Copies of this chain bind each other. A is one copy, B any other.
Amino acid sequence: MQVTKKAIVLLSGGIDSSTTLAITKDLGFSVFALTFNYGQIHHAELQSAKMMARQIGVAQHLIFKLDLANLVSSSLTGDSEIPKMRSMGNILSEIPSTYVPGRNLVFLSIALSWAESIGSYDIFIGANSIDYSGYPDCRPEFIDAFQKCANLATKVGIEGKNVAIHAPLISMSKGEIIKKGVELGIDFSLSHSCYDPDSNGRACGVCDSCTLRKKGFKEAGVKDPTDYFA
């Protein structure tokens, strides 16, 4: 009898992580989705993550509380203004105030602990180094370094059953990601990208994340289902 392989997927509820979740499922893995409640001010993310996990279908969806806001300084955790109306050139070239120091490293490390505990050797992350906010921890060289580190940190690594860190979107444009997601049946109206939504969770339309989202739907030739308030 063939046993279905388990994979951990980091799921924020945005376009990239939702598409990664659908890709992982499409590859035949039994999916364990991991979402972090880390004090992000755009709390609507968590609702989107729940809806996405339900729509795409997972074996388990764990929301892990992590009080990063206690530790770091970032506009995403409420320490300063979210940048708005920036040009695409600036978005792609500067590290903005929305950067949360070491976030993907913390998220992947916790995912690794869970993976080792449930007997999974595959961790998927929706990191993307094309249409992204310039965060250092979204680059392929970081993903490679983490994989090396993961295999030295763990019992499974020592035993030679290597853990693989997959970043299937790393070289895709936002348009290509959206096309892939639609092809896999994702309802993107459930996804959330905005860094600064209103109290009803509606997207601002002008933060870096909304700007990249709009560009992506346009490139993909797919109607943007987002209800922007601005």
A residues adjacent to B (C-beta < 8 A): 62, 64-68, 70-73, 95, 99-106, 108-110, 112-114, 116-117, 136-137, 139, 141-142, 145-146, 148-150, 152-155, 157-158
Residues on B with C-beta less than 8 A from A110 are: 71, 102, 106
Instruction: Tell whether, in the assembled complex, residue A150 and residue B105 are in contact, meaning their CB atoms are under 8 Å apart.
Output: yes
Residues on B with C-beta less than 8 A from A152 are: 136-137, 139, 141-142, 145
Pick the contact of A142: B65, B103, B149 (CB < 8 A). B149
Closest Cβ–Cβ distance, residue A147 to chain B (whole Å)? 9
Instruction: Tell whether, in the assembled complex, residue B136 and residue A157 are in contact, meaning their CB atoms are under 8 Å apart.
Output: yes
Pick the contact of A62: B71, B95, B101 (CB < 8 A). B71
Pick the contact of A64: B71, B103, B116 (CB < 8 A). B71
Residue of B nearest to A112 (CB): B102
Pick the contact of A155: B64, B71, B108, B136 (CB < 8 A). B136
Residues on B with C-beta less than 8 A from A149 are: 105, 142, 145-146, 148-149
13 A-B pairs (CB sep. < 8 Å): A62-B70, A68-B113, A71-B113, A95-B158, A100-B113, A101-B116, A102-B110, A102-B116, A102-B154, A105-B153, A136-B155, A139-B152, A149-B149
- Give the CA-CA distance A157 to B67 in the complex, in Å: 24
Residues on B with C-beta less than 8 A from A148 are: 145, 148-149
User: In the complex this chain forms, how many copies of it are found?
Assistant: 2
A68-B113, A71-B114, A73-B117 known, 7 other contacts, Cβ within 8 Å:
A64-B67, A64-B70, A65-B67, A102-B112, A106-B110, A137-B153, A141-B152
